[in-house]
Chain A
Amino acid sequence: MFRRLPDAPVLTVSIAVDGLEVSARAGETVAAALLAAGFGAFRTTGVSGASRGPYCMMGVCFDCLVAIDGVGSRQACLVQVREGMRVETQRGRRPVGS
């Protein structure tokens, strides 16, 4: 989806996305890290099951929703990566209580 320019410093943060290890740059958002790692679709919709990925990257479209550390429907474009973070792409609606 996206490639990193040589400007970006060494990737020092490690997160797990659907169980796979993904390297990220400290300070960047979960959405940026996933896009650079080749994830295009972040979730499927609760209405038709269609695939969606980030559209606005500024917190207004809600298409980048993922589960972060067990909490569903987080806006990946508003959350910064943290060492050891567990991210899961989301299927349909967020289950009640998660």
Chain B
Amino acid sequence: MSGPLIKDRYELAVIGAGPAGMAAAITAAEIGVDTIVLDEQATPGGQIYRAIGETPLRDPAILGEAYWKGTTLLEAFHASAAQYVPQATVWTASADGEIGVSVGGSVRMLKAKRMILATGALERPFPIQGWTLPGVMTAGAAQILLKSAAMVGNGRVVLAGTGPLLWLIAAQYLRAGGTFAAILETTLRGNIARSLPFLPAFLRSSYLREGFELVSEVRRSANLVRSVIALRAGGGDRLTDVTYRTGGGLEVTVRADMLLLHQGVVPNVNLALALGCQHTWNETQLCFTPALDAWGQSSVATVAIAGDGAGIAGAVAAEERGRLAALGAAFQLGHLDKVTRDRMAAPHQGALRQAQRGLRFLDRLFRPAKRFRLPRGQTLVCRCEEVTARQVRDAAAMERIGPNQLKAYLRCGMGPCQGRLCGLTVTELLADAHGVSPDEIGYYRLRPPVKPITVGDLASLPKTAADIAAVERS
């Protein structure tokens, strides 16, 4: 599966080794496409199947059935002829197929005729007062520590937010022997009515049984507070307490050693946007999603996007989208004729439809509340450059500005995370201030390098005589 040497050229480069990336690589390599997989983590699986090959957790019941489904995919990936490069950070990619990657501290370029971006999702920003204090983490971060290191939070742990993943993580934590001082649920009551029209499809989906079991399991063994409408983290150098309020209730402050935040996941768009793939605002999922055809083909001819980066749909859908993107790429590369491609795709298209059934209900039921997406006052929006909600709102009140001008005014989005933790908040704040749709505001203009590298790293790249001549004084 893996070879130590990275070649200069490949037919296909898959970025990311989660379910979509693994499935894409397996499918493409099976057809005979010369494929390389570049993944930032040390082991395959992405975040959903994080550490699936080597989790130290001994009891498989802790992470549950859905997690272990990834084993089949992992085994096929290990057996695949696709070349897998772990700990490979892609910091640039261009429409002509040139890819810059950093592996084990050294940087290099390679070329691929086509790319499949399988960069997955990240947790939606949850900008509340104090969310930058040590001790405040995403619930996903705690789940990663459970899966990969068999660790649970020490002391008084508070879990807060909304979304199907919140319940899954809560259940996994409890099964592992973790405890919660409180679970503060921010799901809006009004969401129930808005999700009802989509209930029939949900009732026929696999999410129904799974969801009910998780919720009842968690409710049995944790102090659950519903309808939380205000939330803040307190402390000086680290988290010491969490203050919340429920609809109509008084403010309550609880001592806390850890606060785990979660309000859904959104596509990780940085590489796709830097490549110029067109994205539009998705009002159901409250994020930007790429414009794609049935093969995951983006607006950039050489680039397809698969998995949650194509719109949040979960691990099973990600796997099917990965396979479809690989079939599309194999056809474009001349490995398959149209008839064969379509014949091979049919079962995956069916499985994809099946996996997506019921998602529209979940999207609406767990739609995060505006008050937790549009912060006010001294709450930090941009964690890297420490820009507050008030600064963003004040700038928006002065004139009609976009996210890119905000960079110049406030340095918002210009830190190392490159807007990953503030981009959606900024777009939504500006849209709200100007009374227009987030689509009209747009997102930060993203440029390579999409992950920070040093000037020294860049200088260490092999240079042609023409490169040197271009900058040398004569």
Q: Are the CB atoms of A2 and B151 closer together than 8 Å?
A: yes
Q: Are the CB atoms of A51 and B420 closer together than 8 Å?
A: no
Main secondary structure of the interface of A (DSSP, over half): loop
Q: Which listed residue, A45, A51, A59, A61, touches B40 by the CB 8 Å rule?
A: A59
Q: How far is the CB of B144 from chain A (nearest CB, A)?
A: 4
Q: Are the CB atoms of B136 and A32 closer together than 8 Å?
A: no
Q: Which listed residue, A2, A54, A73, touches B154 by the CB 8 Å rule?
A: A2
Interchain CA distance A7-B154 in the complex, whole Å: 16
Interchain CA distance A59-B258 in the complex, whole Å: 20
Chain A contacts to B: CB under 8 angstroms: 1-5, 7-9, 25, 27-29, 32, 35-36, 40-42, 45, 47-48, 50-63, 65, 73, 78, 80
Interfacial residues of chain B within 381-439, with CB under 8 A of chain A in the complex:
383-386, 415-417, 420-421
- One digit per residue, 1 when the CB lies within 8 angstroms of any chain A CB and 0 when it does not, for chain B 449-468 equals 00010000000000000000
Cβ of B57 under 8 Å from chain A = yes
Known: A47-B386, A57-B141, A58-B141. A1 touches B123 (CB 8 A): no
Cβ of B4 under 8 Å from chain A = no
Q: Which listed residue, B89, B144, B383, B384, touches A58 by the CB 8 Å rule?
A: B144
Q: Are the CB atoms of B149 and A41 closer together than 8 Å?
A: no
Q: Are the CB atoms of B152 and A50 closer together than 8 Å?
A: no
Kindly report which residue of chain B lies nearest to residue A4, judged by CB atoms: B151
Can you name 26 A-B residue pairings with CB atoms under 8 Å?
A2-B152, A2-B154, A3-B152, A3-B153, A4-B149, A4-B150, A5-B56, A8-B150, A9-B56, A25-B56, A27-B54, A28-B149, A29-B42, A29-B149, A36-B151, A40-B134, A40-B135, A41-B238, A53-B134, A54-B137, A55-B132, A55-B383, A56-B140, A58-B122, A60-B421, A61-B420
B417: chain A residues at CB < 8 Å are 60-62
What are the 6 closest A-B residue pairs judged by CB atoms, nearest first? Answer: A53-B134, A57-B141, A40-B134, A62-B416, A32-B149, A2-B151
| Residue among B123, B133, B145, B386 with max Cβ neighbours from chain A (10 Å) | B145
Q: Are the CB atoms of B135 and A53 closer together than 8 Å?
A: yes
Interchain CA distance A57-B386 in the complex, whole Å: 20
Cβ of B446 under 8 Å from chain A = no
Q: Are the CB atoms of A63 and B132 closer together than 8 Å?
A: yes
A78: chain B residues at CB < 8 Å are 40-41, 87, 89
Cβ of B285 under 8 Å from chain A = no
| Residue among B134, B144, B153, B417 with max Cβ neighbours from chain A (10 Å) | B134
Chain B contacts to A: CB under 8 angstroms: 40-42, 47, 54, 56-59, 87, 89, 122-123, 132-138, 140-142, 144-145, 148-154, 176-177, 237-238, 257-258, 268, 383-386, 415-417, 420-421, 452
Q: Are the CB atoms of B149 and A56 closer together than 8 Å?
A: no
Q: Are the CB atoms of A2 and B145 closer together than 8 Å?
A: yes
Q: How far is the CB of B153 from chain A (nearest CB, A)?
A: 6
Interchain CA distance A2-B154 in the complex, whole Å: 5
A57: chain B residues at CB < 8 Å are 137-138, 140-142, 144-145
Q: How far is the CB of A64 from chain B (nearest CB, A)?
A: 10
Interchain CA distance A15-B470 in the complex, whole Å: 45
Known: A2-B145, A2-B151. A8 touches B56 (CB 8 A): yes
| Residue among A28, A41, A53, A55 with max Cβ neighbours from chain B (10 Å) | A55
A4: chain B residues at CB < 8 Å are 149-151
Interchain CA distance A83-B325 in the complex, whole Å: 41
B421: chain A residues at CB < 8 Å are 55-56, 60-61
Q: Are the CB atoms of B148 and A29 closer together than 8 Å?
A: yes
Q: How far is the CB of A29 from chain B (nearest CB, A)?
A: 7
Q: Are the CB atoms of A58 and B47 closer together than 8 Å?
A: yes
B176: chain A residues at CB < 8 Å are 5
Known: A9-B56, A25-B149, A62-B415. A56 touches B123 (CB 8 A): yes
A42: chain B residues at CB < 8 Å are 134
Q: Are the CB atoms of B148 and A45 closer together than 8 Å?
A: no
A80: chain B residues at CB < 8 Å are 42
Q: Are the CB atoms of B151 and A3 closer together than 8 Å?
A: yes
A51: chain B residues at CB < 8 Å are 133-134, 237-238
Q: Are the CB atoms of A52 and B132 closer together than 8 Å?
A: yes
Q: Are the CB atoms of B258 and A1 closer together than 8 Å?
A: yes
Other contacts beyond A32-B149, A54-B137: 17, CB < 8 A: A1-B135, A2-B152, A7-B150, A8-B149, A29-B148, A32-B148, A35-B151, A41-B237, A51-B237, A52-B134, A53-B137, A53-B238, A55-B137, A56-B421, A57-B138, A63-B383, A78-B41
